[in-house]
Amino acid sequence: MNASFKKVFSVLLCFSILATLMAPAVSAAPAADVTDISVEGTQGNDGWYTSDVTLTPVAPGSLISSNGSDWQQSIVVKGDRTSPFTYYLKDADGQESGAEKITLKIDKTAPRIRSGSAFKDGGIYCKTVSGGIVEEYFDKILVDGEPIRYTQDDYDEIKYYFTINTAGSHTVEVYDKAGNVLTANITVNEDHVYGDLVQTKAPSCTVRGNWEKQCIYCIHKVIISSTDAEMDQLHDWNEPTFEWAEDGSSATASFTCNNSELHAKTLDAEITSEVVTPATCVEPGETKYTATVELQGQTYTDEKIIKDIPISAEHAWEEPQFVWANDGSLAYAEFVCGNSSEHNKSVVAEVTSEVVKAATCTEPGETKYTATVEMQGQTYTDVKIIKDIPAIAHSLTKVDATQASETKEGNIEYYICGDCKKAFLDAEGKTEISLEDTVLPKVEVKVVKGDANADGKVGIVDAKLVLKYVAQMQTLSDKEYKAADMNNDGNVTVVDAKLILKLIAGINNA
């Protein structure tokens, strides 16, 4: 209803109420216009709803019905639609309106990917991808926010097709007219990404082999076959036959294949050599020649040993025996060959000498003589040591005689060598004596008991001297001390002084 109609309706309603109050009741007035309804649902784009829609009468106490018989306070319109919806209203007094229509555009379903389409959210594709979209109320397709071209096919259901050829990660958005959106994040690779190569047919030198590898994101498959060069590396060769030159300088290796007698090959070998038995003065030497070839990654060898080294002019000399002159001035070395005793040689040695021990006044010196010879680049030596340096004369010094005393030993006159420290009676060093024989003992002095002052007699003076010693007023020499020690107990005391006095008085000290 428009605004003017609402205004007229309000005025008429007021007059109707007043007339009812003021006049006696007669017949009921016509029902009021209650066709106003409210429409509630989730709003989409351009008047579309993306949810079920609820229709409710505006007038208080009014009811609504979709068939004119089942009355409710509100009804819910479900399902996608664009066709008019018919409804009926009943006011609070029970008066019913005629059939009313309202056009509702409802689309609750987002576009979907066509069943069987390879296109999907999170998909990874090679080079290009095509998608099929099913949507009755289709609006547009955006890739990374930009619209793209599409085609339409309405044969069995409404479908829209598009293709993406640009490599990279993309966001695809498909919108319907109500604003519902289908979003898919995809990746388009620049090329196929292949898995492992799988052998489907084993190759040989007579059969071409096949291998396949398939893209991990699509059904694309690549088939690879053996090349002629690869097949040539697959022969099942027998052990080769080697043919040698007489002198071992060259050789060839001939191969035949187990798979076909027509497959044969002869290769020139690489030759190396080494001496395995050197030549001696009695026998020629031997050389080992080794032939080497490689075929299909495998190495084959053969050997040939030839006695081609001439007899050597050099001998296998053993250690020589040296023969010396008695005085060491001359020596020669006698060699014998280890290969044959008939091969021998004597060589005069070069002799050098050095003093290894100098002569002394007691022993002669020693000289070391060294004999040296060379044979076939090797040096041999021998050593002889001889005591051939005469002893030197003694270096004598005279020691004068000294008299012995009661406190000190004396000595006789003698001579002593400054080098060997030996003693001699004569200046020529002919008569040797020991150092003990040069010593004169101390002179023994007779001690008189009681003669403390050593004046040759015993008296009161000696007793007084002992008492002074005891009182630490006097010192005694060794001789005086022995004389004062009357009882020989090793100490000088008052007892010794009493014993001296008794001796003077003629009293027996026993």
Q: Indicate if the pLDDT at residue 509 is higher than 70.
A: no
Taking only the tens place, the pLDDT of each residue in 432-445 is: 999 898 898 987 76
* Three-state secondary-structure class, residue 435: helix
Supply the DSSP string of 151-166, one letter for each residue.
Answer: EEE-SSS-EEEEEE--
pLDDT of residue 35: 53
pLDDT tens-digit readout, 223-267: 999 898 888 888 999 999 999 999 999 999 999 999 888 899 999
Q: Please give the Cα distance from 396 to 419 (Å, whole number).
A: 9
Q: In this predicted model, what pLDDT tens digit does every residue of 298-343 receive, in sequence order?
A: 999 999 999 999 998 889 899 999 999 999 999 999 999 988 888 8
Domain boundaries, given as residue ranges, for the chain: 29-103, 112-189, 198-231, 241-309, 321-389, 396-440, 460-505
As its CATH architecture, domain 112-189 has: Sandwich (2.60)
pLDDT tier at 349 (50, 70, 90 boundaries)? very high
- Helix, strand, coil fractions of the chain, as percent rounded to 5: 10, 40, 50
pLDDT of residue 4: 40
Residue 8's CB is within 10 A of a number of other CB atoms, namely: 12
Q: Token digits for 43?
A: 């709003």
As given in the structure block, the two tokens for residue 147 are 């619209």
Task: Name 272's bridge partners.
Answer: 290
Is pLDDT of 171 > 50? Answer: yes
Strands (E), 376-449: 378-389, 396-399, 410-411, 414-417, 423-424, 432-433, 439-440
pTM over 0.75: no
**pLDDT over 60 (residue 363):** yes
Helix H, strand E, coil C: the string for 217-231 is CCCCEEEEECCHHHH
The percentage of the chain sitting over the pLDDT mark of 70, rounded to a whole number, equals 92
The pLDDT-based confidence of 173 (bands split at 50, 70, 90) is very high
Round the average pLDDT of the chain to a whole number and report it.
87
pLDDT tens digit sequence for 367-392: 999 999 999 899 999 999 999 999 88
Do 413 and 398 contact (CB within 8 A), yes or no? Answer: yes
Distance CA(441)–CA(408), nearest Å, equals 8
In Å, what is the CA distance from 124 to each residue of 145, 165, 274? 20, 13, 65
Q: Where are the alpha helices (DSSP H) in 57-102?
A: none
pLDDT confidence tier of residue 146, bands split at 50, 70 and 90: very high
